[in-house]
Every structure is written in structure tokens, then in C-alpha cells.
């Protein structure tokens, strides 16, 4: 598992597939230009089909992975090898989604449908290389395709050996503290429309999880569910007590300490296995005991099958 | 699938071979002791049934079916004898009680009991243990041990979850109290009703001789539990006080119309309690009303709550277990028909003499040790024909019936697999907390309580034996 994938990102394209200094160009046109370049160099057999596939994916959701950086992509059938094409624009390109901010670097990635991990590997490499905003700005300013290609050659290196949990995780998530009262927990479920929230201790370590079910069970414990006659509950009587005491009950009293966590370097496929084997909806990614990300089943599936 | 089933088959192979070897050894011993072929076949199949419950809990019914078929095919057992010895009346009694329990759950009776405990003013850690033990025992007396433990576990999980406590000590206390309580009445345990019907004992006999001894044993057990789990109880007390300071209870409480549930329970138990007098009044054979009482209650409930009747019969009745009992009673009955039990009774008196003072403790110890490892109904089914043979030879049998009852019920506390209540509670713990109790952890408390309660019950039975009447 530790062996490095020998494929360098720069080997997936040449300076001929780099367009520098695009001006007054729509996002779709930018993609079209890059795909034409790829077709011209023989990397893809059918430019129209590739364009349709990339635009279809764009319509499903934005591919902006960092401020100023978009990675439109598609998986195509019978592609000899994965290919990249890069466009830079110091002035900025307005992406197709209305709410999107201007992008300065567009990397089109086309991979074969039979290698679903390759797009994720490219994405992982690109994300790491452009994790700092100024790097994107710096590459967007490079004047020649050769210099852009050289940056990819020296600055990004090889594709990772495998996709890790860190590559798949979402890093913007809501958390709660053990010392929070359940009033805050109820508000949290109501506001963020989440079904399960990680709970941290005073040191920020992940110590538990609280689900909507835990709140529901506070009002409807098993012995009340035995009642066949629901008349004593018709007006949600047991929940009155929760409302009265929601400022007195600590989250630590209702949270569960049964959750599944993985380290950042855990292979993403192992995360998928945990989700299936344990029949759970999300896995927490930790660095030591600190929570750094969450991988939900729907996110994971979307990333693997739709990119 | 092929890959996963191969190791499972290998796992089953070893105990299967062991079961066959041990059964063959039983057959060989039978031959050496001079038993005839029918007797050898009946003890071998019974041994297979016992070993089957020990090694293949989930296959016990399948083994029972095959064993019964073998006895019938080999002409050791005939169809009329099978019907006679299957104790259908006991099975129907248990069906009736299970329907009544289903209705009690629907009617909120058990919800009411749990709410009563969690909202009890002045509750402390020690009081919680005492109340849990007492309720477990009395519920077992009123309904049965498995029902009692099902509802008591929900109470314990609710309280321990709320106080963030380890439920295991309270689970052990409740299970042990349930097993002890199940010896108090004929309703407490299938063992009780089986012994009662075979020995001709009435509900009143149980109330006079078994119930007080059960209470003494329960008191001793509660004392031991309070001492043994004193640290855990202290933590319980601390957490409870801290919660009380914030004016928080142990769970929500709703208004439950419990009256109908109490009426159903009092009606059923009341009818069982006066069965002897009704039988005398109506000049009916002994235990006729006793066995029909739950059926009368169940029948009335099924008319009253006709939309739930099918649910009660199909979902609330544990047909798997009852079918196993039915076949087991028939196979055990074969030991009587083939006169194996006469030989065993003769062997018993040859070893221990005819003195009740020696036979009583010996029987308590033997049944306790046996039922610590195998289902206590299996154990009792084996000993009932032996005691009947001893009674037929003119021995004062009532102390022996009580010894059998207490040994079988209290022996079940020794190990975590000793009784159905233990297994049900551990299953619930595993399902809810994905945790388990280690065999030795249970054994420490189980053995301590097992020895104390067996000693007390054997002592009490011996002490009271001179006042006990001859069984009918």
C-alpha cells in the first residue's frame, strides 16, 4: 500500500494542451477549447462526446475545488489513458453556476470509465498542490504553456498510490461539545438539517456522537412505546418535559460513544467497507483523536461514481 | 457464500462428533448396566437431546424432532404414548400465559410498573437494587421468568442510560432475582407448572411451601448483591443525586390507564390461586382449573381485543420454545415407559439410601449443577419420572419435588447460560450495547448466590419436610 504510483501528473498532458491568458471567455467555451486541444493531440477519440459528458457533469454540480480553481471532468468509454488540459486566466473566467466566483485556473480531466479511481487521484494531487491561494494566482500569471507544464512537472509530482480518507472527507461540518445543553442540540438539528452530529470534549477530541433518534428516545423511551393506546401521547405529552428541562440536560448524558472513526491515511476503500459492513451512514476522520473531517455515505458514493 | 459456510460447517463438526461420541458412551454404559435395547435407545436419544441443547442451542428443536421420530420409528414410543406424555396441558397453559402477557404489555401494565419505579420519590442506589430484585422476582411469580426479565431489562437500560452507568451489575442482580422468584409459584417457570402437574401439587402448595423459601433466598441474595456491588451502587447514588440537584428525573412519565391491565392480571392469577377450591367445588380432577385458567383469560382477552387476537397468538407466543418443550416432555416420558427411571430410582436409593435428609440436598446439588449448564426444563424432565418412581416406592416425595424445583431454578444462576432468562438478558445487552459479560465475571456472583440459595432452600426443605403432606 505504501508503494508510490509511478504516473506523474505532468505525463498526462503536454504544453500543447495548455492555454495561457484566456480573456473574455465563458466557462463553457474554456472547456470546449481545452477539449479541442485534447482531440487534436489524439488523446480523446470524440471531442463532441467528451464535451457533452463534461457539461453534463457540470450541470450536476460545481467542480470548483478551491477558490479560483475548477476541475471539470468526465469519465469516458474506451479512453486509452487519462488526459489533462489546462487553461489559465489572469483576468478570470465566470463559471457556469451563477453563484460561483471567477476562476483563474481550469484543469479539464478526462479518465477512462474503467478506472474510477484515477480522476480522484488526479484531484487529490491537484488539491494538495494548490492548497494555498497564492499558488493558483502564481500559475495563472505564468506566460507560457511550457512554464505551466513545468510547474505541474515539478510542483505536483506523481499521482498518489491510493485515495485516502483525507481525500474524500468534507472539512466543513458542524460539531457540538459534551458540555452543551440539549437545547443547543435540538437547535443544531433543526438549523443544519443533519441527522447525526459529532461531539467533542474540552480538548477538541472526538468523544461521541448524537443523533436525532437520541432526542426522540428521550421523549419516547421503549417502555412508553409498548402502549398500544396512544391517547396519553396524542398531544406529545412526554416532550413537554424535554422542553422544560432542555437547559438542564447536558449533551454528555444522551450522546452515544459508539461511532466509527478512521485516520486520515486510511485508504478510502476501507472507509467504504466500514460503511457497508457496519451499516452506518458516516465515518469520522481523525488526526490522533482530533476530528478533521467527515465522510458520509452519499458523499463517498457520489465521489466514486460521479466524481 | 461457499467460502463462509465452510468454516461454519467445520465449527459445527467438532461438537457434533463430540455429541455422537458422548451419546454412544451413554449407550455403552446402558448396555453394561444390563439395560434392554429399548431402554438403551431411549436414554441415548435423551442424552442426544441434552447434549444438543448444550452444544447446538439454535438446533435444539431440530434435534428434538429427529429424536422423537427415531423413538417412534424404532417403536420405543407409540403415538398414543407420545400424546399422553407430551404434557399438552402444560403447553396450553404456557400459550395462555403468553397471550395474557401480550395483552398486559398492550394495556400499559408494564409501562406503569416501570414508571412507578423511575418516578419513585426517595429512590436511592440501594433502594433501586432492592426494588429491582423484588420486582423481578414478583413479576416472575406473577407471569414468568422470561417475561419478567424482558421488562426489567428495559427498566435497567433506561435508568443506566440516563445515569450513564454500566448496566451489567443491575442486569445480573435482576436475572438472579428473576430465577429465584420463578420458584415462588407455578406461574414462575415452565419447570414449576411441569413439576406441579406431575407431582399433583396445587398453587396453594406452592404458596405454602415454595413461596416463603423463595422469599428467604431472595432476601439473602439482595444482601449479597448490596455488598458485592457496593461500589457500583455508590456511583449510582452519586449520579442520581447530581441529577436530582438539577431537578431531573430518570425518564418521562405519561398517564397510563393501568386499571384494565391490573384487572387482567389479578383475574388470571386469582383464578389460578383459587383453582383447588373451584376443583373441589365442581368435583373436577386436580389442576383442571389451574391449567385452564390462563386459557380462560386468554380466550376472553381475544374476544375483547379481537383486532389484536391474531397478533397475540402469532407474535407473543414463543412457539419455537413450546414445541421444543412438547417434544422434550415426550422423549423424557419414554424413560418412564421403558422403566429406565425405575432403574435410576433404584440406583439413587442404593447410593443415597431412602433418607429424605440425604436425598433432598443430594437432589438440590445434582439438579443445580446440571441446570447450571443445560436448560433447566431438560434437567427437570429427566428427574420427574425418577422422583415419580421413588414416590411410587412409598418414599415421602414432596420434599424431593421442592428440592428438584429449587435446584433447577437456583442452579440456573450459577453460569450465564444456566437459564433462559440469563440468555435473553445477555442477548438484549449485546444487541443494545454491543457488549457482553465475561463467563468468570458472572460465575463469581452466580456461584456465590447459587451456593447460598441452594444451601438455604435445601435446609428449609429438610427442616419443613416433617410437616409436608404426602403428594397426591
CATH number at residue A200: 3.10.580.10
Please, what is the end-to-end C-alpha distance for chain A in angstroms? 23
* A189 assigned to some structural domain: yes
Give the whole-angstrom CA distance, residue B159 versus residue B251: 8
* A167 assigned to some structural domain: no
User: Domain holding A148: CATH number?
Assistant: 3.40.930.10
ipTM greater than cut 0.95: no
Give the whole-angstrom CA distance, residue A295 versus residue A266: 12
Give the lowest-confidence range in B123-137, B306-320, B344-358, B399-413: B344-358
* A169 assigned to some structural domain: no
CB atoms within 10 A of CB A190: 10
Which chain A residue lies closest to B258 (C-alpha atoms)? A227
Instruction: At B203, give phi and psi (nearest 5°).
Output: -60, -40
Average pLDDT over residues B391-419: 92
Domain boundary among A132, A161, A190: A161
Please determine, for residue B4, whether its predicted confidence score (pLDDT) is greater than 80: no
- Tell whether A34 and A120 lie within a shared domain: yes
Average pLDDT over residues A23-51: 91
Shortest distance, CA A243 to any CA of chain B (angstroms) = 12
- Tell whether A22 and A145 lie within a shared domain: yes
Quick one: pLDDT band at residue A2, thresholds 50, 70, 90?
very low
Q: Residue B387's closest CA among B371, B373, B366?
A: B366
Q: Residue B428's closest CA among B221, B148, B189, B164?
A: B148
Question: How many domains are there within chain A?
Answer: 2
Give the whole-angstrom CA distance, residue A82 versus residue A77: 11
Domain boundary among A115, A134, A161: A161
Range of the domain at A272: 176-306
Q: Which residues of B touch A (CB under 8 A)?
A: 105-108, 110-111, 114-115, 151, 154-155, 157-158, 162, 164, 246-249, 251-257, 308, 434
Give the lowest-confidence range in A36-45, A79-88, A169-178, B338-347: B338-347
* A170 assigned to some structural domain: no
- Tell whether A92 and A57 lie within a shared domain: yes
Judge contact between B179 and B412, C-beta under 8 A: yes
Taking an 8 Å cut-off on Cβ atoms, the answer to whether B111 and A227 are in contact is yes
Domain boundary among A161, A194, A229: A161
Taking an 8 Å cut-off on Cβ atoms, the answer to whether B111 and A226 are in contact is yes
Q: Residue B187's closest CA among B316, B308, B275?
A: B275
- Tell whether A139 and A91 lie within a shared domain: yes
Q: What angle do CA B397, B403, B406 make, to 5 degrees?
A: 145
pLDDT of amino acid B15? 84
Is the minimum CB–CB distance between A187 and chain B shorter than 8 Å? no
- Tell whether A204 and A137 lie within a shared domain: no
Q: Which of B106, B110, B111 to mutate to test the interface with A (most CBs of A within 10 A)?
A: B111
This prediction has a pTM of: 0.80
Tell me the pLDDT tens digit for each residue of A90-115. Answer: 888 887 665 567 899 999 999 998 88
Q: What burial class does residue A63 get, using C-beta atoms within 10 Å of its C-beta: 0-12 exposed, 13-18 middle, 19+ buried?
A: buried
* A108 assigned to some structural domain: yes
Average pLDDT over residues B215-227: 97
Give the whole-angstrom CA distance, residue A85 versus residue A107: 6
pLDDT of amino acid B281? 93
- The angle that helices B376-392 and B37-55 make with each other, rounded to 10 degrees, is 150
Shortest distance, CA A124 to any CA of chain B (angstroms) = 36
Task: Give CA separation, A165 vs A114, B15, B87, in Å.
Answer: 22, 43, 62
Q: Residue B251's closest CA among B125, B156, B150?
A: B156
Q: Give the contacts of A7 (CB within 8 A, at least 6 positions apart).
A: A158, A159
- Tell whether A79 and A149 lie within a shared domain: yes
- Tell whether A139 and A55 lie within a shared domain: yes
Strand A196-200 with A83-93, pairing: unpaired
pLDDT of amino acid A43? 87
pLDDT of amino acid B448? 97
Which chain B residue lies closest to A224 (C-alpha atoms)? B111
- Tell whether A18 and A44 lie within a shared domain: yes
Judge contact between B147 and B190, C-beta under 8 A: no
* A143 assigned to some structural domain: yes
Residues of chain B positioned with their CB less than 8 A from the CB of A226: 105-106, 108, 110-111
Q: Give the contacts of A256 (CB within 8 A, at least 6 positions apart).
A: A208, A209, A210, A211, A214
Q: Residue B45's closest CA among B326, B388, B333, B325?
A: B333
CA B451 to chain centre: 18
Residues of chain B positioned with their CB less than 8 A from the CB of A228: 106-108, 308
Task: Cell 396450553: give the residue.
Answer: B92
- Tell whether A108 and A27 lie within a shared domain: yes
- Tell whether A104 and A194 lie within a shared domain: no
Please determine, for residue B6, whether its predicted confidence score (pLDDT) is greater than 60: no
Please determine, for residue A5, whether its predicted confidence score (pLDDT) is greater than 60: no
Tell me the pLDDT tens digit for each residue of B435-450. Answer: 788 888 999 999 999 9
- Tell whether A185 and A156 lie within a shared domain: no
Task: Give CA separation, B134 vs A233, B130, B368, in Å.
Answer: 30, 6, 22
- Tell whether A211 and A85 lie within a shared domain: no
pLDDT of amino acid A99? 57
Q: Is the C-alpha dihedral spanning A21, A24, A30, A33 positive or negative?
A: negative
Instruction: At A196, give phi and psi (nearest 5°).
Output: -150, 130
Amino acid at each position: 500500500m505504501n508503494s508510490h504510483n509511478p504516473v506523474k501528473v505532468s505525463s498526462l498532458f503536454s504544453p500543447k494542451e495548455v492555454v495561457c491568458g484566456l480573456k473574455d471567455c465563458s466557462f463553457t467555451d474554456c472547456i470546449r477549447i481545452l477539449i479541442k486541444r485534447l482531440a487534436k493531440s489524439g488523446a480523446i477519440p470524440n471531442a463532441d462526446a467528451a464535451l457533452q459528458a463534461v457539461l453534463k457533469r457540470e450541470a450536476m454540480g460545481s467542480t470548483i475545488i478551491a477558490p479560483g480553481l475548477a476541475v471539470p471532468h468526465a469519465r469516458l468509454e474506451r479512453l486509452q489513458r487519462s488526459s489533462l488540459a489546462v487553461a489559465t486566466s489572469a483576468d478570470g473566467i465566470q463559471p457556469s453556476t451563477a453563484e460561483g466566483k471567477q476562476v483563474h485556473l481550469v484543469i479539464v480531466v478526462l479518465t477512462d470509465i474503467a478506472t474510477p479511481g484515477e480522476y480522484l487521484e488526479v484531484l487529490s494531487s491537484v488539491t494538495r498542490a494548490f492548497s494555498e491561494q497564492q499558488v493558483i494566482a502564481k500559475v495563472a500569471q505564468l506566460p507560457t504553456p511550457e512554464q505551466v507544464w513545468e510547474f505541474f512537472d515539478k510542483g505536483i509530482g506523481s499521482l498518489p498510490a491510493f485515495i485516502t480518507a483525507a481525500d474524500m472527507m468534507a472539512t466543513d461540518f458542524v460539531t457540538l461539545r459534551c458540555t452543551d445543553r440539549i437545547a443547543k442540540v435540538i437547535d443544531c438539528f433543526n438549523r443544519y438539517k443533519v441527522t447525526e452530529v459529532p461531539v467533542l470534549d474540552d480538548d477538541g477530541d472526538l468523544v461521541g456522537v448524537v443523533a436525532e433518534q437520541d432526542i426522540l428516545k428521550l421523549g419516547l423511551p421503549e417502555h412508553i412505546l409498548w402502549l398500544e393506546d396512544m391517547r396519553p401521547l396524542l398531544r406529545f405529552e412526554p416532550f413537554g418535559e424535554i422542553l422544560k428541562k432542555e437547559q438542564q440536560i447536558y449533551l454528555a448524558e444522551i450522546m452515544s460513544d459508539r461511532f466509527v472513526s478512521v485516520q486520515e491515511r486510511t485508504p478510502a476503500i476501507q472507509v467504504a467497507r466500514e460503511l457497508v459492513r457496519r451499516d452506518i451512514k458516516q465515518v469520522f476522520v481523525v488526526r490522533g483523536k482530533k476530528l478533521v473531517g467527515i465522510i458520509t455515505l452519499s458523499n463517498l458514493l457520489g465521489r466514486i461514481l460521479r466524481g | 457464500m461457499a467460502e463462509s459456510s465452510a468454516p461454519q460447517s467445520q465449527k459445527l463438526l467438532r461438537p457434533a462428533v463430540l455429541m455422537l461420541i458422548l451419546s454412544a458412551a451413554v449407550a455403552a454404559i446402558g448396555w453394561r448396566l444390563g439395560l434392554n435395547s429399548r431402554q438403551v435407545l431411549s436414554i441415548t436419544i435423551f442424552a442426544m437431546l441434552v447434549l444438543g441443547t448444550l452444544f447446538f442451542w439454535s438446533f435444539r428443536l431440530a434435534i428434538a424432532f429427529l429424536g422423537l421420530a427415531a423413538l417412534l420409528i424404532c417403536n420405543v414410543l407409540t403415538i398414543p404414548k407420545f400424546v399422553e406424555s407430551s404434557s399438552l396441558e402444560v403447553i396450553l397453559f404456557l400459550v395462555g400465559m403468553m397471550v395474557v402477557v401480550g395483552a398486559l404489555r398492550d394495556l400499559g401494565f408494564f409501562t406503569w410498573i416501570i414508571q412507578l419505579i423511575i418516578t419513585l420519590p426517595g429512590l436511592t442506589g440501594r433502594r433501586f437494587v432492592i426494588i429491582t430484585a423484588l420486582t423481578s422476582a414478583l413479576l416472575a411469580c406473577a407471569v414468568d421468568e422470561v417475561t419478567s426479565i424482558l421488562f426489567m431489562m428495559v427498566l435497567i437500560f433506561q435508568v443506566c442510560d440516563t445515569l450513564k452507568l454500566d448496566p451489567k451489575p443491575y442486569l445480573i442482580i435482576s436475572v438472579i432475582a428473576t430465577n429465584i422468584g420463578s420458584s415462588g409459584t407455578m406461574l414462575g417457570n415452565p419447570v414449576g407448572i411441569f413439576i406441579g402437574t406431575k407431582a399433583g401439587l396445587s398453587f396453594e402448595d406452592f404458596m405454602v411451601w415454595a413461596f416463603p423459601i423463595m422469599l428467604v433466598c431472595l432476601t439473602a441474595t439482595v444482601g449479597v448483591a448490596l455488598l458485592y456491588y457496593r461500589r457500583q451502587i455508590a456511583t449510582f447514588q452519586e449520579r442520581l443525586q447530581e441529577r436530582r440537584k438539577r431537578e431531573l428525573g430518570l425518564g418521562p412519565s405519561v398517564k397510563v390507564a393501568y386499571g384494565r391491565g391490573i384487572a387482567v392480571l389479578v383475574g388470571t392469577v386469582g383464578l389460578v390461586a383459587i383453582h383447588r377450591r373451584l376443583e373441589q367445588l365442581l368435583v373436577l380432577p386436580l389442576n383442571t382449573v389451574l391449567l385452564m385458567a390462563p386459557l380462560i383469560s386468554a380466550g376472553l382477552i381475544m374476544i375483547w381485543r379481537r383486532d389484536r387476537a391474531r397478533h397475540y397468538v402469532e407474535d407473543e407466543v414463543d412457539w419455537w420454545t413450546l414445541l421444543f418443550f412438547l417434544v422434550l416432555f415426550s422423549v423424557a416420558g419414554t424413560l418412564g415407559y421403558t422403566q429406565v427411571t425405575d432403574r435410576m430410582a433404584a440406583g439413587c436409593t442404593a447410593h443415597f439410601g431412602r433418607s429424605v435428609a440425604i436425598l433432598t440436598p443430594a437432589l438440590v446439588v445434582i439438579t443445580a449443577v446440571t441446570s447450571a449448564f443445560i436448560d433447566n426444563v431438560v434437567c427437570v424432565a429427566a428427574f420427574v419420572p425418577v422422583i415419580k418412581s421413588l414416590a411410587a416406592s412409598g418414599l415421602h416425595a414432596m420434599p424431593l419435588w421442592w428440592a428438584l424445583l429449587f435446584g433447577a431454578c437456583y442452579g440456573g444462576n450459577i453460569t450465564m447460560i444456566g437459564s433462559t432468562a440469563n440468555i435473553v438478558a445477555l442477548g438484549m445487552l449485546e444487541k443494545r450495547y454491543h457488549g457482553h459479560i465475561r463467563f468468570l465475571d458472572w460465575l463469581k456472583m452466580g456461584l456465590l448466590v447459587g451456593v447460598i440459595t441452594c444451601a438455604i432452600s435445601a435446609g428449609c426443605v429438610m427442616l419443613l419436610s416433617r410437616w409436608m403432606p404426602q403428594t397426591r
